[in-house]
Amino acid sequence: MGCLLILAMVLVPLFPGISAETQKDRVLEQLMQSIELAKNEAMTGRQSMVICGSKDGLTCAQSPSWQHYWLVGVLAPGVGIPRVHKLHKQYTLPKDTTLKFKAFKGGRPEMLVIQPDGRTHNNGTFTYTYQDNGKVRTTTLIVNKVLRVYLKARTG
């Protein structure tokens, strides 16, 4: 019984780190799924799709920092500020984390727009920032023009 108590005392501090890593893996998996969903919907529906950050879970935020949600939806027709015409999926970011998209050049710097041919003209990087045992860590996904995703090593 005493051995189990000592083992529990040693393992309990490790769970927040495991939880942060598991949470990070889940967010990155959801992000890759959202890119694939947007690409498939763009090609099958012959329409432009958008992946964007959102403060309210319904509309695209005009900020590269996504602090609450990200959305996958049909890009509304017209000019001006891009917005979601028809929402396909909403993802919620874990508390105290951020996700940012930054285009390499061209297009909207704060959102990923997928054209009906399944390509994007604003490839760039997604950076996920989270806390792990009191340390700030980041993981970056690089997205190219044909929407292939590459994982860059974690920092922090």
Q: CA-CA distance, 100 to 28, in Å (whole number)? A: 12
| Residue 75: both structure tokens together | 């890009």
Q: Centre a 10 Å sphere on the Cβ of residue 46 and count the other Cβ atoms it contains.
A: 10
Residue 138: exposure state from Cβ atoms within 10 A (0-12, 13-18, ≥19): middle
Single out the residue of 58, 46, 42 nearest to residue 112, CA to CA: 42
In angstroms, how far apart are the furthest CA atoms of the chain?
A: 69
Tally the domains of the chain. Answer: 1
* Per-residue pLDDT tens digits for 108-138: 668 888 999 999 978 899 999 998 888 999 9
Q: Cβ distance 101 to 120 under 8 Å?
A: no
Q: Centre a 10 Å sphere on the Cβ of residue 79 and count the other Cβ atoms it contains.
A: 5
CATH number at 119 reads 3.55.40.10
Looking at residue 83, its pLDDT comes to: 66
Single out the residue of 124, 22, 109, 112 nearest to residue 70, CA to CA: 112
* Per-residue pLDDT tens digits for 65-95: 687 899 999 887 765 556 677 888 999 999 8
- Tell me: pLDDT of 106 over 60: yes
| Residue-number span of the structural domain to which 62 is assigned | 2-155
Percent of the chain with pLDDT over 70: 79
